[in-house]
Amino acid sequence: MVTNIVQEGLDAVEKQLRDIVNSDVDVLQEAGLHIIKSGGKRLRPQLGILAYLAAGGQDVERVVPMSAAIEMVHTATLVHDDINDHSLTRRGQITVHARWGRTFALLAGDYLFTKVYEMMAPYPSEYNVIMADATTKLVEGETLQAAAAKAGNMDRETYKSIISRKTASLFEAAARMGAMLADADEDLVESLATYAYNLGLTFQIIDDILDIIGDPETLGKPVGTDIAQNRGVMAAQNGGTAVKETAVAEIEDDPIAVMMANLRESGAVDVARMQAEETAKRARAALVNVPSSPAKTEMEALITAVLQRQN
Amino acid sequence: MVTNIVQEGLDAVEKQLRDIVNSDVDVLQEAGLHIIKSGGKRLRPQLGILAYLAAGGQDVERVVPMSAAIEMVHTATLVHDDINDHSLTRRGQITVHARWGRTFALLAGDYLFTKVYEMMAPYPSEYNVIMADATTKLVEGETLQAAAAKAGNMDRETYKSIISRKTASLFEAAARMGAMLADADEDLVESLATYAYNLGLTFQIIDDILDIIGDPETLGKPVGTDIAQNRGVMAAQNGGTAVKETAVAEIEDDPIAVMMANLRESGAVDVARMQAEETAKRARAALVNVPSSPAKTEMEALITAVLQRQN
């Protein structure tokens, strides 16, 4: 039942994402649609819709542009990330950067960013403040990650700050705005925002674990990218030093493959999984005071799905 | 008298531009302040302030965040342009990209973009729609330019479309929003917007001419960049072909220097200057129905200054 309403909302989000990319400049149109059509989990817009419904919202159309804008922020940063990471595939498809080159990928990412604000413009100021703040945090998180990787000093605190900003902030903003659009009271808004924030942390830790132990076929992207760049949860578990030591010791083999094998056996994955279970527990706890509803049940199920996902 | 009020406004814009860059992420803070402190003409915020005053606005503080946001859009795109153009200097300073590298320059540009919307969030929806639209056009203009340069097919129509989007749109948005904030009637808003749009065209044509005949010392940046990349007004005057022919013919000398000398002697600069005089005339004509005021006088003087500028 609720699943149908959520699906309706997600379909409308999908349509809006495609409709808003409407440039007469061919490369922006093609590159924009390419990244949007390559899909993704659409978890962030799903959170916007679920928080709205869990807070008693009745007209799902109200959260569609906001939820689409949230997904568009994420999409725009993916295009720029892939430039900086020199990634060739994303979601099983060639990246914008690999297909259209760096110059057009940079501009296509900028273009998608401008579309975020086109979608957000109709909402009142407080929503635009939340969106601007979450987007700033996202860029800061990406920057902290690049800086830590470059300096080779990824510790647990830095890692936490990175995933909080680059992932959890946008999850939180989606749920916060969804709840606000349903005119939820302050406590309910905070509960749903806290849930989403912790779900975001869980999601990112699992994402980083999958970079080590995941199956590239299932993931639709190469694994080991984070290790190669001395970043992510495993670098954090190892104080940012294990990677470099291993690289020096085992230079005669494929260094990335060797590092990944070592990390798998080091117990670092188990520690990371424990952290993910802890943040998942906090997400669950945040829902305690949220009134029962089909949307709440779906939000609880989402925690389990995020913890157990294989791609 | 009006100059004092404009200067007060510009000082407040300058302060806001610096204050809004307040990240605890060192590289974003340093790179952001670096590009802002390297200055620029601040023509766009000046237009926002002047249009507000010319439309009878009394409280210049009202246009400060909007005018700062307009300048920030411009600043963010400069950071990204310099990546794509491999530029090493800008406004007599090292570029962000040359000093901090491509990854951080890309992220610093994104960061400045997020700050635009932080500044715009307090304004009503219609202002955010105008800003999003102008920013989209700007990115489209940059993309058209890169595409035309790559394809080597810069004709006059393409050139006009490029400068209209990448420069004139933001000039127009500044004046339009300035006039709206003074509660000007629709005709007055359109007159001031049309003025600024044509001033923007004039500014860009002169900018492209200066890339050919300007003095690098006075400009604070290298000249010949556009020619080297087969773009700009001179490529347009020559149907995008002169550059390549010259390059083949004179390959034994410094090809850029040779092209610049040829273009100076070809009459193309004179044609471009005639176009700039035509758009300047349109800017002046748009002011006819604007009531006399010190701000209007200053806007008229700006047309002459833009036409005659040497840097």
CA angle (B77 as vertex; A66, B139 as ends), nearest 5: 60
A107, A150, A230: best to mutate for the B interface, most B CBs within 10 A: A107
On chain A, the residues whose CB falls within 8 A of the CB of B77 are 110
A21 vs chain B: nearest CA distance in angstroms?
Answer: 11
How large is the C-alpha radius of gyration of chain B? 19
Residue ranges of domains in chain B: 2-308
Residue with token string 């959170």: A47
Query: Which residue(s) pair with B125 in the sheet?
Result: none
On chain A, the residues whose CB falls within 8 A of the CB of B139 are 28, 107, 110-111, 114
- Cα separation, B193 vs B171, whole angstroms: 8
Query: pLDDT tens across B206-260, in order?
Result: 999 988 777 667 666 667 777 666 666 666 665 544 444 444 444 445 666 666 6
CA angle (B180 as vertex; B176, B183 as ends), nearest 5: 150
- Cα separation, B191 vs B77, whole angstroms: 27
In this prediction the ipTM stands at: 0.89
Strands of chain A (E only): list them: 89-90, 93-94
Question: Is B117 within 8 Å of A123 when comparing Cβ atoms?
Answer: no
Q: What end-to-end distance do the CA atoms of chain A give, in Å?
A: 26
CATH for the stretch B2-308: 1.10.600.10
Closest A-chain CA to B83: A103
pLDDT at A263 over 90: no
A308 vs chain B: nearest CA distance in angstroms?
Answer: 32
Q: Quick check: A100 contacting B, CB < 8 Å?
A: no
Of the candidates A108, A121, A143, the beta carbon closest to that of B107 is on A143
On chain B, the residues whose CB falls within 8 A of the CB of A81 are none
Of the candidates A84, A110, A121, the beta carbon closest to that of B132 is on A121
* Mean pLDDT lowest among A107-111, B96-100, B149-153, B187-191: B149-153
Question: Is B103 within 8 Å of A132 when comparing Cβ atoms?
Answer: no
* Mean pLDDT lowest among A259-273, A284-298, B65-79: A259-273
Q: Quick check: B115 contacting A, CB < 8 Å?
A: yes
pLDDT at A5 over 50: yes
pLDDT at A86 over 80: yes
Of the candidates B23, B110, B123, the beta carbon closest to that of A80 is on B110
**CA distances (Å), origin A70, targets A124, A178, A299:** 16, 11, 18
- SS3 for B190-242 is HHHHHHHHHHHHHHHHHHHHHHHHCCHHHHCCCCCHHHHCCCHHHHHHCCCCH
* Mean pLDDT lowest among A13-27, A243-257, B28-42: A243-257
Q: Quick check: B271 contacting A, CB < 8 Å?
A: no
B131, B136, B144, B170: best to mutate for the A interface, most A CBs within 10 A: B136
Q: pTM for this structure?
A: 0.90
pLDDT at A257 over 60: yes
